[in-house]
Amino acid sequence: MSTIAIPNETLPRTGIAATLPAPAPLADADRKPLTKKETAADHPTWCPGCGDFSVLALYYKLIEKRKMLHENICTVAGIGCSSRFPYFVQAHGAHFIHGRALAFASGVSLSRPDLHVFVFGGDGDAFSIGGNHFTHTARKNIKLTYVVMDNFVYGLTKKQTSPTSPIGFKSKTDVGGSTDRPVNPMKQAISAGATFVGRATATNLPHLLKLMEAAMDHDGFSFIECLSECIEFFPGAFDAAVPRKGGTFTEIPSEHDVTDEYAAYKLCDAPWPGVFGTFYKVDRATKNANEAKLITDSRAKLAGVPDWQILQRNFDRMK
């Protein structure tokens, strides 16, 4: 007879200051929107002028505007400059490994429908090492919001070619200019089955905020490619989309049918710097909903039966 040497116990909480009183229960309605002061955590380690600051600022704003509560936000990232994001936000967060943030976040989203799960990261993290996860998270339509801060370069590792670097980009790994065809993130997302696909820049703040809000409200996998300049290794990359630098910021015309996949593809081929806004948005059952249904159906005949008895039935069949 085998035994269990380490039994199941009620485990005490650790790292809890004894001096502070435990908070009194508070009705959510009584709680005020979180201010930037309450949402900001560590001061960002980014280079001054890095586009990622704007995305962070808008995330704070989004939390405030939508009256989200600290404890119900979950910010997840992989590795890269942009992926340092969770440290800068006062919310439950995880700084995972390079390229795998979506897989981790899917585990959170699928097991916790009560949370808002946001994932932030870079282009290398998303389309190179994490390419497989990008495809499958989109295909499964897992409910979460994914913002890729696309700077067309590897920032953290100091200027190597990224999967979105344009042909001819001179980097430390392509001193004569890159020759590999870059990924088109919008096409990639639509073909993979993402149900919300949008494009923005870190320089047009009202537009980005609107898009982030729409992404957050979408029931499914929502993806935003946000052009975010790496001032250090690819300065000026997105000037063509910045009016105050002589560029043009072209929004997707309002008559575009966001449920028309082919029309969306067409938009993806607009000449540089492309168009901005919601390319594609459809309603399709999320993995979260499909699994929830599976659970409801499986439990239909088991209402009120304790777990051990469900297991006992299986064991009885093996006698």
Partner 1 sequence: MSDNTSTATTNDSSRTSAITESVIRIAGDSQDGIQAIGGFLARLAGRSEQEVMTFMTIPSTISGGPSIFQVRIGSGEVLSAGDEADVLLCFYDHSYANHISSLKRGGIVLYDSDHVTPKEDMLSVYRHVGVAISSLTVEAIGGTGRDKGKNIYALGLIARMFDLNVPKLTKLIEERFGGKDPSIVTNALNCFNGGYGHQIQGLIESFRFEHAEKTGAPQVVMSGNEALAYGIIAAGVRFGAGYPITPWSEIMELLRRELPKYGGMFVQTEDEIAAISMAIGGSYAGRVSVTGSSGPGISLKTEALGWASMAEMPVVVIDVQRGGPSTGMPTNQEQSDLNIACFGGHGDSPRVVLAPSSVEDCFYTAIEAVNIARKFSTPVIILSDQAIATRIEAFPCPDLQNICQDISPDFTPVADHKPYDLTATDGVTRHIAPGTRVASGKYPVATGLEHDELGHPTGSGKLHTQMNAKRRNKLRKLASELPVPKIYGATEGHVLLVGWGSSKGPIEEAVKLGRSQGEAVSGLHIKYINPLPNGLENLFNGFTHVVVCEINDEGLYGHGQLASLLRSRYCDPRIKSVTKTDGLPWKVKDILTRALALTK
Q: Would you count residue 214 as binding partner 1 (CB under 8 A)? A: no
Residue 30's binding partner among ligand SF4, partner 1, Mg ion, none (Cβ under 5 to 8 angstroms by kind) is none
CB nearer to ligand SF4: pick between 124 and 274: 124
Considering only residues 215 to 254 of the shown chain, the ones binding ligand SF4 according to CB under 6 A are 230-233
Q: Would you count residue 302 as binding partner 1 (CB under 8 A)? A: yes
Binding site for ligand TPP (CB under 6 A): 79-82, 98, 122-125, 149, 151, 153-157, 162
- Residue among 34, 39, 52, 194 that touches ligand SF4 (CB under 6 A): 52
- Residue type (1 letter), 199: R
Residue 143's binding partner among Mg ion, ligand SF4, ligand TPP, none (Cβ under 5 to 8 angstroms by kind) is none
Residue 47's binding partner among ligand SF4, Mg ion, partner 1, none (Cβ under 5 to 8 angstroms by kind) is ligand SF4
Contact between 122 and 149 under an 8 Å Cβ cutoff? The reply is: yes
Considering only residues 149 to 178 of the shown chain, the ones binding ligand SF4 according to CB under 6 A are 151, 155
Considering only residues 18 to 77 of the shown chain, the ones binding partner 1 according to CB under 8 A are 20-23, 25, 38, 41-42, 69-74, 76
Our CA dihedral for 140, 209, 226, 265, rounded to 10 degrees, sits at 60
Upstream peptide bond of 273 is cis (omega within 30 degrees of 0): yes
The residues, ordered by sequence, that sit 6+ positions from 188 with a Cβ below 8 Å of its Cβ are 127, 134, 135
The residues, ordered by sequence, that sit 6+ positions from 278 with a Cβ below 8 Å of its Cβ are 196, 197, 198, 211, 214, 252, 258
Helix or strand run (H / E) with residue 299? helix 287-299
CB nearer to ligand SF4: pick between 101 and 230: 230
Closest by CA to 195, choosing from 122, 116, 139, is 139
- Residue among 47, 97, 289, 292 that touches ligand SF4 (CB under 6 A): 47
Contact between 264 and 279 under an 8 Å Cβ cutoff? The reply is: yes
Residue ranges in contact with ligand SF4 by CB under 6 A: 46-47, 50, 52, 81, 151, 155, 230-233
